Amino acid sequence: MIEKKIVLEDIAPVDLYGVNDSKLELIKKRFPKLKIVGRGETIKISGEEEDINQMEMMVNVLTAYYNRYGNLTDNAVEQILGGNKNGSGNKATTAAEALGDDVLVFGNSGLVIKARTDNQRRMVESISKNDMMFAVGPAGTGKTYTAVALAVRALKNKEVKKIILTRPAVEAGENLGFLPGDLKDKLDPYLQPLYDALGDMIAADKLSYYMENRVIQIAPLAFMRGRTLDNAFVILDEAQNATEAQLKMFLTRMGTSAKFVITGDVTQIDLPKHQPSGLLQAHRILKNVEGVDFIELDGSDVIRHKIVKRIIEEYEKK
């Protein structure tokens, strides 16, 4: 006999428990050997470990269903819980497969986030096999968005303790010193694409909590110097604008229990002409290193407006 607590993160208690705990009662009937007490965002369970694990998977499936469809009726709960009355087999896995096992994250307002092209699916497969992955390709191919989704999935699955997102503070024709405000105000415009992706995937109050408690950290590349990044999913975005020294510095920050994803577009290097891109050097010298993988995305992966794909094709003809 063991005890365990499940903390609800992606569903409000009332949406899971139902009015007058109607849905929670259905869950209790499905697991009669367990003692189940739901109080606020915490469900306390006591019983045999196998039964507890089964129930936890069911709660995950019910949460995923709610985030996908935007509601969770008593009838839907009965259908998901039903069929496997004798406790044999793994009904939770069957239900999860029915929801789609290619889903990376169920985002806000029922948004389903998954790999949508072959190369994005290669990114998903690669990070499961390698600890460091480079995803290189033109704008609009979903490099950063897919990488952030992989990071959020790893955090939700408790595979890592934190997410660290970073970019070089380099943009075409801009200079930090000419932007108004304090240091954070100056840096935020450079990091906005990362905020946008996170905002699609994590509820606003939960995202604020994660950032206030440094579970999710967003910082310019220069701030990585001297750190050891462990138990973390780390993304370096816009890596084409990292110098050779900066990229080497970043790659050597990797701790023993970390995943690193480096994204970039070698056609949009904004460094001074005398300053070679570290991304080009890394591709040249690391492409045969075990545990490091390079995924090259192209125009076929563009998921923005169809005109973007045509623009990329025309620029490639130059």
Q: How do residues 167-215 score in pLDDT, each as one tens digit?
A: 987 654 445 555 566 656 666 777 788 889 999 888 888 899 999 999 9
pLDDT for 304 beyond 80: no
Residue 247's pLDDT is 96
* pLDDT confidence bin for 125, thresholds 50/70/90: very high
Residue 165 backbone phi and psi in degrees, to 5: -120, 135
The class (CATH top level) of 2-101 is alpha beta
| Domain coordinates in residue numbering, the chain | 2-101, 110-316
The pLDDT confidence band at residue 72, using thresholds 50, 70 and 90, is confident
Q: What is the pLDDT of residue 178?
A: 58
Could you count the other beta carbons within 10 Å of the beta carbon of residue 304?
Answer: 13
The C-alpha atoms of residue 122 and residue 297 are separated, in whole angstroms, by 10
Q: Is the pTM of this model over 0.85?
A: no
Per CATH, the number for 110-316 is 3.40.50.300
Percent of the chain past pLDDT 70, that is, above it, reads: 84
According to the model, what pLDDT value does residue 22 have?
A: 92
Q: What is the pLDDT of residue 94?
A: 43
Provide the sign of the torsion angle of the four alpha carbons 137, 247, 258, 190, taken in this order. Answer: negative
Which residue type is seen at 296? E
Give the pair of three-digit tokens for residue 97. 């497969």
| Three-state secondary-structure class, residue 261 | strand
pLDDT surpassing 60 at residue 91: no
The whole-angstrom separation of Cα 97 and Cα 238 is: 35
CA torsion, ordered 9, 10, 12, 14, to nearest 10 deg: -110
The share of the chain scoring above pLDDT 90, in percent, equals 48
- DSSP reduced 3-state for 98: helix
Q: Which residues contact 163 (CB under 8 A, 6 or more apart)?
A: 151, 152, 154, 155, 210, 215, 216, 217, 232, 233, 234, 235
Q: Cβ distance 260 to 130 under 8 Å?
A: no
Contact 235, 153 (CB under 8 A): no
